[in-house]
C-alpha cells in the first residue's frame, strides 16, 4: 500500500475511534521496571483492570523478585480481573526473569541515560518481552514515540485494510508513528488500545462486529472469520452446500431404490439347488467307485482259494482211480 493512502486510512480511523472511545486517565509516574510490569498486565486488558491488578501485586508481594519466583498459577489467581490472566502471568514472569538474568538487578534507571535505540535493542534481545511491552515502556519511560499495538488492534487494522495479514504476523504497522504526532501519541494510543481490547475479547463475536462496522461500514467482507477445523470443508464449500440443498434429494431416492427389488434373490435360488445337488452326486459317484473297487477285489481274493480247493479235489480223484483199477487175469 502506498504511504499517502495508508496515512489517509489511519487518519480516518483515528477520527472514527474518537467517536466511540475516550482517552484513558494519564498514567502514574513509575520507574522503567514498573512500566514494564504494568505493560505486561495492560496488553490485552483495560487500563482500569491493569491498574487494579498492579496495585494488588504491590500490596501482596514483598518485591518484584518475590513475584518472579512465584508460580504462574499463583500469579494467575491474583490477576482474575484481566482478560487473559494466564498469559499475563506468563508475560510478567518471563519479563522479570529475563531482566534479572541480564542485569542481576531491578534498577533499570541507568538505561534511561543510554541512547533510545540502544535500550530498545537491548530489550528486544530479552526473552519473553513482547513488542507491546517495549513500545509502552518507550512511550512512557524512555521519551520515545512508539504506539503500543496488541493482537486485537492488529486484527482491527487488517479489517480496516490499513495493514496486510503478512504485516500483522510480523507485528508492524508502517506509517503509524508518522501519521500520529508525538504530542498526541499517548492519547490516541490509549483509544486505539481500547479498540484492540474490545476486538481481542472475541474477534468473531457480535460485539466486535458491531464496533468494526460502526467505525467502517465498508469492512463487512473483511470481518475476522473463524479458522476452519482440520479436515473440515472450506467455508465457501459449506455455504454452497447450504444454498443448494436439492443435491441431497437424489441421494435419498437412490438409497430408497436399492433395497426395494427382492426378485434377484428368488432368481438366485436355482444355483443354490444345483449347489445342493452337487454334493449328493459326488457321494453317489464315490459309492459307485467303491463298489467297483470291491467288485474287482473279490475275484482276486477267491482265485487262490478256488485253486487250492480244485487242486485238492483232483488229487483225491486220481488216488481213487489208481486204487480202484484191477489188473487183468
**What structural domains and CATH numbers belong to the chain?**
3-222 (1.10.340.30)
Half-sphere exposure of 121 (CA within 13 A, CB side): 5
CA–CA separation, 88 vs 179, rounded Å?
30
Q: What is the pLDDT of residue 199?
A: 96
Place of cell 474287482: 296
**C-beta of residue 153 within 8 angstroms of C-beta of residue 196:** yes
Closest CA to 136 of 3, 22, 24: 24
- DSSP secondary structure code for residue 183 in this structure: G
Candidate from 19-28, 162-171, 276-285 with smallest mean pLDDT: 276-285
Whether the predicted pLDDT of 76 surpasses 80: yes
Helix axes 32-42, 47-60, angle to 10 degrees: 120
Q: What is the pLDDT of residue 281?
A: 45
For residue range 296-323, what is the model confidence (pLDDT) as tens digits? 444 444 444 444 444 444 444 444 444 4
> Around Cβ 149, how many Cβ atoms within 10 Å?
24
Q: Which cell numbers in the block locate residue 42?
A: 495492560
Q: Please, what is the end-to-end C-alpha distance for the chain in angstroms?
A: 163
Whether the predicted pLDDT of 211 surpasses 80: yes
Residue 260's pLDDT band, with cuts at 50, 70 and 90, is: low
CA–CA separation, 195 vs 322, rounded Å?
148
Q: What is the 3-state secondary structure (H, E, C) of 20-86?
A: HCCCCCCCCCCCHHHHHHHHHHHCCCCHHHHHHHHHHHHHHCCCHHHHHHCCHHHHHHCCCCCCCHH
Report yes or no on whether pTM surpasses 0.85: no
Averaged pLDDT, 44-69: 96
Average pLDDT, the chain: 80
Q: Where are the beta strands (DSSP E) in 185-317?
A: none
Helix, strand, coil percentages in the chain from 3-state DSSP, rounded to 5: 70, 0, 30
Whether the predicted pLDDT of 161 surpasses 60: yes
- 129's CB contacts (< 8 A; 6+ apart) are 36, 94, 95, 98, 123
Q: What is the pLDDT of residue 226?
A: 86
CA–CA separation, 213 vs 65, rounded Å?
45
Pick left, alpha or beta for residue 105 (phi over 0 → left; psi -120 to 50 → alpha; otherwise beta). beta
Averaged pLDDT, 14-33: 92
Amino acid at each position: 500500500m502506498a504511504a499517502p493512502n495508508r496515512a489517509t486510512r489511519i487518519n480516518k480511523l483515528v477520527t472514527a475511534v474518537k467517536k466511540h472511545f475516550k482517552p484513558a486517565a494519564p498514567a502514574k509516574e513509575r520507574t522503567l521496571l514498573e512500566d514494564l510490569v504494568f505493560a505486561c498486565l495492560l496488553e490485552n486488558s483495560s487500563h482500569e483492570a491493569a491498574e487494579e491488578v498492579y496495585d494488588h501485586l504491590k500490596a501482596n508481594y514483598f518485591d518484584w523478585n518475590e513475584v518472579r519466583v512465584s508460580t504462574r498459577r499463583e500469579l494467575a489467581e491474583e490477576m482474575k480481573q484481566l482478560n487473559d490472566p494466564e498469559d499475563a502471568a506468563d508475560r510478567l514472569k518471563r519479563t522479570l526473569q529475563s531482566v534479572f538474568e541480564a542485569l542481576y538487578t531491578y534498577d533499570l534507571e541507568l538505561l534511561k541515560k543510554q541512547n533510545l535505540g540502544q535500550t530498545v535493542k537491548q530489550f528486544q534481545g530479552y526473552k519473553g518481552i513482547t513488542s507491546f511491552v517495549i513500545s509502552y515502556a518507550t512511550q512512557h519511560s524512555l521519551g520515545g514515540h512508539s504506539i503500543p499495538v496488541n493482537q486485537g488492534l492488529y486484527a482491527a487494522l487488517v479489517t480496516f485494510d490499513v495493514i496486510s495479514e503478512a504485516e500483522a504476523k510480523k507485528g508492524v504497522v508502517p506509517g503509524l508513528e508518522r501519521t500520529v504526532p508525538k504530542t498526541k501519541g499517548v492519547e490516541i494510543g490509549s483509544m486505539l488500545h481500547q479498540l484492540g481490547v474490545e476486538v481481542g475479547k472475541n474477534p468473531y463475536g457480535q460485539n466486535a462486529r458491531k464496533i468494526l462496522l460502526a467505525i467502517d461500514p465498508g469492512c463487512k467482507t473483511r470481518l475476522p472469520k473463524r479458522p476452519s477445523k482440520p479436515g473440515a470443508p472450506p467455508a465457501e464449500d459449506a455455504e454452497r452446500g447450504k444454498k443448494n440443498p436439492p443435491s441431497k434429494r437424489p441421494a435419498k431416492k437412490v438409497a430408497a431404490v436399492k433395497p426395494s427389488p427382492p426378485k434377484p434373490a428368488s432368481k438366485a435360488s436355482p444355483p443354490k439347488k444345483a449347489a445342493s445337488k452337487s454334493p449328493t452326486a459326488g457321494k453317489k459317484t464315490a459309492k459307485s467307485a467303491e463298489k467297483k473297487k470291491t467288485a474287482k477285489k473279490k475275484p482276486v481274493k477267491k482265485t487262490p482259494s478256488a485253486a487250492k480247493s480244485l487242486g485238492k479235489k483232483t488229487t483225491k480223484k486220481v488216488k481213487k482211480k489208481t486204487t480202484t483199477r484191477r489188473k487183468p487175469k
